[in-house]
């Protein structure tokens, strides 16, 4: 008995699918207009989800690369290369001389590295980097302590890092990021060559391997020229923006964070009631911020997709009402031959769901193609839709079809067979 019932349901589903795709082929323009809203809604959800998932994955990898046990200290919140918020513009930058004191005072702190940002303008003009007969105004120059590459797990493709002695004496040496080395010397090795920063000669002693973590396929550290911290402080006295990378003892990152906060408050002479005039963060906190931003973007995306699906649902409902009207005699004939109301209702519901699913599938394909184009445009960034997003988009499309088709299906099942057979 159950087998016969499942077989009947299967036949109804197959017949409904045949009729639905037949309706799409016979009225392609009408069908496309009906499912346009569904396509747009599914594209919006799937593509935005793919982009957010790609960004989160790359950011997580980026901060895992520079040390999951590290605490980052900066005198402001946000990206050091971004303009400061008005409330933080007057904060005192962190003094690089505090780094060894923090390391000495902290029981949970293994080491502290310093990254000093050299202004991109030199005397009001862009800081030009020259080498190998080429030049670039896009490179970023940073003075770093000798332990910086070890603490941030920077892998060298060639050469070596600075020594503490070279940092102290202000040696004119440089370690190149992968992108800027290629911009100046192409595929040739930069190690051992000479470059000029604003007219000052430096010898390249190392090249950093391309970083894996990135945002939209771009890791800023690949565009950095690192010079010894002492050299940067001598040549660029206007450079004040410093970031501390505090390496915690294994498994003691949160304890180290609390310790750094207490030490910096004491070293910066903050009273008990005064707020911090610096910002501490960890990789987990930054990733959590990305997640919160992604959640807000997701809510906006869901709202826009809901509007598109509503429009698509209205289009599908309109198509199904027309289909019921055009097939009134067919419905009457089926009812006269013994088809139950529930069977007729299920047939039209399935037709509406299949029509909507066709829109959902088209939306997934379009979103995947757009994600592929974005991946090609930003190498290293993968905008691949997660399976749950694809399944969610298709489920939303099917649900829209069922809701949109309910009233037309109910109307079809309620038709009187005698009256339906008289319909012209």
pLDDT digits (tens, 9 = 90+) for 265-286: 999 999 888 899 999 988 777 7
Domain spans in the chain, listed from the N-terminal domain onward: 9-62+289-421, 67-282
pLDDT digits (tens, 9 = 90+) for 323-348: 776 666 666 666 665 666 666 777 77
H or E stretch including 159?
strand 156-159
Structure tokens belonging to residue 193:
């060559």
Q: Output the average pLDDT for the chain.
A: 81
Separation CA 33–CA 18 (nearest Å): 20
230 or 154: whose pLDDT is higher? 230
Question: Could you give the maximum distance between any two Cα atoms of the chain, in Å?
Answer: 102
pLDDT digits (tens, 9 = 90+) for 22-70: 666 766 777 777 778 888 888 888 888 888 777 777 766 666 666 667 8
Cβ-contact 349, 71 below 8 angstroms:
no
CA atoms within 13 A on the CB side of 103: 17
For the four alpha carbons of 83, 87, 88 and 90, in that order, the dihedral sign comes to positive
Closest residue by Cα to residue 352 from 330, 320, 314 = 320
Does pLDDT of 298 surpass 60?
yes
CA atoms within 13 A on the CB side of 181: 28
Task: Report pLDDT for 268.
Answer: 92
Separation CA 255–CA 202 (nearest Å): 40
Cβ-contact 12, 347 below 8 angstroms:
yes
The conformational region for residue 159 under phi > 0 = left, psi -120 to 50 = alpha, else beta, is left
């Amino acid at each position: 008995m159950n087998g016969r019932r499942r077989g009947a349901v299967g036949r109804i589903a197959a017949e409904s699918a045949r009729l639905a795709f037949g309706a799409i082929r016979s009225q392609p323009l009408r069908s496309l207009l009906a499912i346009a809203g569904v396509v747009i809604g599914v594209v919006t959800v799937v593509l935005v989800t793919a982009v957010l998932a790609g960004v989160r994955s790359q950011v997580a990898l980026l901060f895992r690369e520079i040390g999951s046990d590290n605490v980052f200290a900066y005198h402001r919140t946000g990206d050091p290369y971004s303009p400061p918020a008005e409330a933080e513009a007057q904060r005192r930058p962190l003094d690089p001389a505090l780094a060894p004191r923090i390391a000495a005072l902290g029981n949970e702190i293994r080491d502290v590295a310093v990254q000093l940002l050299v202004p991109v303008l030199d005397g009001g003009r862009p800081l030009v980097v020259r080498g190998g007969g080429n030049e670039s105004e896009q490179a970023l120059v940073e003075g770093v302590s000798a332990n910086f590459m070890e603490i941030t797990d920077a892998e060298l493709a060639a050469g070596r890092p600075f020594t503490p002695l070279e940092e102290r004496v202000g040696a004119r040496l440089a370690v190149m990021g992968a992108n800027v080395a290629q911009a100046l010397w192409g595929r040739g090795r930069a190690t051992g060559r000479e470059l000029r920063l604003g007219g000052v000669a430096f010898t390249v002693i190392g090249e950093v391997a391309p970083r894996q973590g990135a945002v939209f396929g771009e890791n800023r550290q690949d565009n950095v020229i690192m010079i010894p911290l002492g050299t940067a402080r001598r040549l660029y006295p206007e450079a004040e923006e410093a970031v501390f990378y505090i390496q915690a003892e294994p498994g003691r990152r949160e304890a180290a964070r609390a310790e750094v906060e207490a030490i910096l408050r004491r070293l910066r002479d903050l009273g008990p009631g005064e707020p911090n005039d610096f910002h501490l963060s960890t990789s987990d906190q930054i990733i959590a911020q990305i997640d919160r931003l992604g959640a807000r973007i997701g809510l906006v995306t869901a709202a826009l997709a809901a509007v598109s699906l509503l429009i698509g649902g209205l289009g599908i409902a309109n198509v199904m009402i027309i289909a019921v009207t055009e097939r009134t005699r067919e419905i009457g004939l089926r009812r006269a031959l013994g088809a139950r109301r529930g069977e007729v209702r299920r047939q039209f519901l399935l037709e509406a769901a299949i029509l909507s699913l066709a829109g959902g599938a088209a939306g997934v394909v379009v979103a995947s193609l757009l994600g592929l184009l974005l991946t090609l445009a930003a190498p290293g960034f993968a905008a691949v839709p997660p399976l749950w997003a694809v399944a969610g988009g298709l489920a939303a499309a099917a649900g829209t079809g069922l809701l949109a088709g309910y009233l037309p299906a109910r109307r079809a099942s309620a038709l009187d067979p005698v009256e339906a057979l008289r319909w012209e």
